[in-house]
Amino acid sequence: MDKPNVILITTDQHRGDCLGVDGNPYIQTPHLDQLAYTGVRFTQAFSECPVCVPARRTLMTGQHGYSHGMHSNRSDPYPSDTLFLAEAFRQKGYQTQAVGKMHTHPQRFRCGFEHVLLNEEGRRIGGLEYDDYEMYLMEHGLRQQLWAHGMPANSLHSRPASLPDEHISDMWTARECCRFFERRDPTAPLPSTVHRQRAAINARSPRPR
């Protein structure tokens, strides 16, 4: 195939030194370490913006904050003339799907992806009643346990999950991504975006001074 498959794995703003391969003595990231060992690792890469919503907007548009106009976490719609990364892939014949957290406005906005499965961590914007992850938990009778630890999304740090391991958001995200691979048209290449809530990325954000 002359067009390679592309999988983009993002996390909710982890620093680059939160990786075992970077020598972190506490955080274990064996799968990401394996990707680093067998691929190309950029040790001097910096995020365009260390704040999550504008950083994702930069990633999806290829524009820096001065161009797309967002520097803090706000619920602003994208400009109508935006060409998205996933849309550019689609124009070249790629199949596209995003799985996980998008945190866009409006909340079901796809940023150029053909298909999106959401885990918005309890956010309710613009009339969204349930996201796809919550609907999955409802089907398994587990939605009432999602916030049993009593903490909001941005307060989750090193706490035990309140769900069985096979039903936590990371496992759901990985399974849905694999199902997309199995269902896709095998004659066309794919890019897919996977957002993991508790993992580590291989890019450094500038440290506060």
Residues taking part in catalysis: 52, 103
d(CA 140, CA 20): 34
Using alpha carbons, select from 144, 114, 141, 109 the residue that is nearest to residue 127.
109
Give Cα 74 distance to the centre of its chain.
Answer: 18
> Cα separations (Å) of 162 from 7, 55, 169, 198?
29, 29, 11, 14
d(CA 6, CA 103): 22
d(CA 189, CA 185): 8
Number of H helices, E strands in the chain: 6, 4
Q: What is the largest CA-CA distance in the chain?
A: 50
Say if CB 56 and CB 72 are below 8 A apart: no
> Cα separations (Å) of 105 from 40, 54, 59?
33, 12, 15
